[in-house]
Amino acid sequence: MRMIRFIWAEDEDGHIGYQGTLPWHLPADLKHFKDLTSNHIIVMGRRTFESFPGLLPKRQHIILSTSPTLQRKYQNNAHVKIFSQLKELKNWIKDHSEQTIDIIGGARVFEEFMDEVDMIEKTKIHHVFKGDTLMPKINYEDFELINTKAHQADEKNKFAYDFLEYERKEK
């Protein structure tokens, strides 16, 4: 059965990005993201994709972008599929109904799948950063918090953070 899952990190003000990158460096969150998304399909917009240092191993990259340059660059790469139309992307996801689909950003892509998300994996960072991109508002009344793991700052992770897992309530 298909599951659509949102995965992101945000600060206390809901910022998820600044000038095309993450406003923070939190190695534990990067590891958490890798553990969650390995061997899954990850869906994102062009700017989220371009924020990566390269292709992420053990993941199928699905990108929503109208960039012809990006489409040409990855046209023969089996690990990357680019859709220029949201409707095409949604149809492709329906055809992959036996898999977990991880939506990882940006804000517009989260907005487009807000009514379809089944699970949420959010990292809440207990700090306020300079940001220019906010996570779209989620109606948490539709979800149940099923797991929380609180972490204190340490020598590698300079900020306290929580891993929060939510599941959509039955309709």
Alpha-helix residue ranges (DSSP H) falling in 14-170? 27-37, 46-50, 68-74, 86-95, 107-112
Q: What is the pLDDT of residue 99?
A: 87
- Quick one: pLDDT at residue 1? 64
**Confidence (pLDDT) at 2:** 73
Chain centroid to CA 2: 17
Note whether 118 and 5 are within 8 A (CB): yes
Question: What is the structure's pLDDT at 171?
Answer: 67
* Residue 62 CB-half CA count within 13 A: 21
Residues of the chain with pLDDT under 70: 1, 171
Per residue in 75-115, pLDDT (tens digit) is: 999 999 999 999 999 999 988 878 899 999 999 999 999 99
Q: What is the pLDDT of residue 97?
A: 74
Query: Considering the entire predicted model, what is its pTM?
Result: 0.95
Whole-angstrom distance, CA of residue 122 vs CA of residue 169: 17
- Sequence-ordered alpha helix ranges (H) in 22-84: 27-37, 46-50, 68-74
Tell which phi-psi region holds residue 109, choosing left (phi > 0), alpha (psi between -120 and 50) or beta. alpha
Q: Check which CATH number belongs to the domain holding 160 and give it.
A: 3.40.430.10
Instruction: State the pLDDT at residue 111.
Output: 96
Tally of structural domains, the chain: 1
Q: What pLDDT does residue 14 have?
A: 97
Q: Which CA distances in Å does 10 have to 66, 80, 125?
A: 27, 26, 6
Radius of gyration of the CA atoms of the chain, in A: 16
Domain that holds residue 37: 3-168
